[in-house]
Structure 1
C-alpha cells in the first residue's frame, strides 16, 4: 500500500489517535511503525518528524503522512563508525543506505542510524552527502560549532575528497595525460581530476582514483559517462555498464586542516572495506 495525506488537526488529541481516525486504512500498529521510521512529519518551521505516538497535538497543527509499505519494510546494512572525534565523527556508509531521509521516512539513512547510535548523548548534523548507490566515507558533526566550521571548509572547497571508481573501457593515452575532465554541469564550471590505477583486459574496465575540485550533483558519474567511460553499475548514466556488485564508486579518503583540532586530519577507508584493490 502507498498513500500520501496532508492532515489538519482541529482539536487537541494524541498523535496516534488522530492518525488512526484520519487514516482508517491503516492500523494503529502500521501507523506507529511509520511514525518511528520518520514517515509522519509535523509541518512546523523547521519541519519535524513526529515519532512519539502519544505526543499531544493542538488545533491548527498540520501533519503529512507519506506511507509506502514497501519502503518501510526495507532494511539496509548497518553503517560503521570509523573515527570518533567527539565534536564530529567519520562513518562508513554502505551502498543502499541514504545519507539522509526523505518524506517517505529516514530509517534507511545514515543520519538516523547515527542519531540512534549516539542517542541521547549527541545531536547529529549531516555535512555532505554520498549517493545512495555509492559507499564510503561520510563526515558528521555533533555540535553547532563543528557543523558551522566544517561546513565552511566544504563550501570553500578546503576538504579534499578522493574517490575510487571502476569504469567501462580503457582510457586513451590522451585522456590519461590530461588527467582531468572540465565539462560544465548545470551551466556551472566543473572539474574532476583522476589517475588511472589499473586496466583489466579480461573485463575491459579501468580502476581510477578521482578528486573532485568542484562538487556538483552526480559529478563523477556524469563526467565519466560524458567521455564514454561510465562508472560500472550506474543505474542512471551510461550504457552497457552493468555490474553485479552495484555501483563501482566509493569515497575512500578525506583530508582537511581541522579548525577545531588545529591540525591536519587525514582519513582513509580501511582496506577491508574497499570495493577494489589496485
Structure 2
C-alpha cells in the first residue's frame, strides 16, 4: 500500500485557522493610525471596539490605549480568539492594560498580595493566572497595595523594570491619589490636613504628633456631606503609609465606619467604608498622563441619605 493511502484518502488535511492577523511595524506611528492604515476601510469606532474587547496585542501583550506609540520592529496582532483574552472576576475589574502595566479596580474583601501569614488567593494571584494565558512566562509585579477591606483603583507592573521605575519614582510619577470614606460623627471642619508620624506595630499602626522614629505622613481631607451621624469625606494622600487614612481619621475622633481596629463601634455596611476612587500618574515608559476614576460606592451615598 502506498504511503499516501496509508495516511488516508489522500485528500489534503484542513489547515488550522490562524489565531492572529499579524502586522509588522516599519515606522513610528500611533496604534489607532496604524490599524486604520493596515485594515483599510475600518472605522475609528471599530478600532476602539477591538481595543475595548481586548483583542489587540502589541508584542504579545494586550493593548487598550488607542494612541499607544508604536516603534519600528514591533508586531501588532489581532486575535481571533476573543474568549481567550476576556477577563471576568467578581472581585476584580481591569480598567486598563498595556505591555508595561495593568490598572484594576478591586472589591473589598480581596487581598492585594499574599503575606507571610496569609496565603489565600489574592488580586496578584488572579492577575498572574490571567497574563499567563497570553504567555506562560508573563508575571505580575506588585507596586503598591490596598488593605483587604478597602476597595478601589490600584495598579501592578508587568515586568521588573517597570516595577522598579514606579516604586523608585512613585512621588514623581503619581500626581493624584484620592479616596472617599464615610466616617463617624460630624466633621468639625470643611477641609483640613492631618500630619503625624506613623509606626507599624504589626497588629495596628500608631500615630504621634512628634518625630518618634515613625514615618512622616500627610493626609488632606474635604468634607462632602454630613448626615445621620456620619460624614462623607474625600481624602487626598500626600504620602502612602500603611493604614494612613484609617489612623488619621481616628486621630481626629472620626474613625472610618466599620473600622473596629481603629475605634469604630458600628458596621452598618458590613465592610470598611473606604474606597480608592481616583488614581492619576505619568506612564513610566511613555510619559503620558493617565487618569482613572470610579464612582463613589452607592452604599456610601445611601448611608448619607436623610431619614
TM-score, L = length of structure 2 = 0.59
Give the structure 1 partner of residue 216 of structure 2: 189
* 1:188-226 per-position Cα deviation (integer Å, ceiling 9, x unaligned): 3211001111111xx211111101111221000001111
Corresponding residue of 1:276: 300
1:232 aligns with one of 257, 268, 273: 257
Q: Which runs of 5+ in 1 are unaligned?
A: 1-75
Which aligned pairs between 1:39-188 and structure 2 lie closer than 5 A? 77-103=90-116, 106-120=119-133, 121=135, 122-154=138-170, 158-172=174-188, 175-177=189-191, 179-186=192-199, 187-188=214-215
Whole-Å separation in 2 of the counterparts to 1:272 and 1:86: 29
Q: How many residues of Structure 1 are paired with residues of Structure 2 in the alignment?
A: 197
Counterparts of 2:114 and 2:165, CA distance in 1: 24
CA contact (8 A) 1:255 1:267 kept: yes
Per-residue Cα deviation, 1:66-99 (whole angstroms, up to 9, x for no partner):
xxxxxxxxxx943111111231011111111111
Distance in 1 (CA, whole Å) between partners of 2:108 and 2:264 is 21
1:204 to 200, 204, 229: 229
Residues 131 and 205 of structure 1, relative CA distance in 2, 3 Å threshold: same
CA-atom RMSD in angstroms: 2.2
Report how far residue 239 of structure 1 moved: 3.3
Larger radius of gyration: 2
Report if aligned partners of 1:168, 1:231 keep a CA contact under 8 Å in 2.
yes
Residue 213 (structure 1) aligns with = 238
Residue-by-residue CA offset, 1:48-73 (whole Å, 9 max, x unaligned): xxxxxxxxxxxxxxxxxxxxxxxxxx
Within 2, Cα distance between the matches of 1:228 and 1:157?
33
How far the C-alpha of 1:248 sits from its partner, in A, is 0.2
TM-score (norm 1): 0.65
In structure 2, C-alpha distance between the alignment counterparts of 1:235 and 1:108, rounded to whole Å: 24
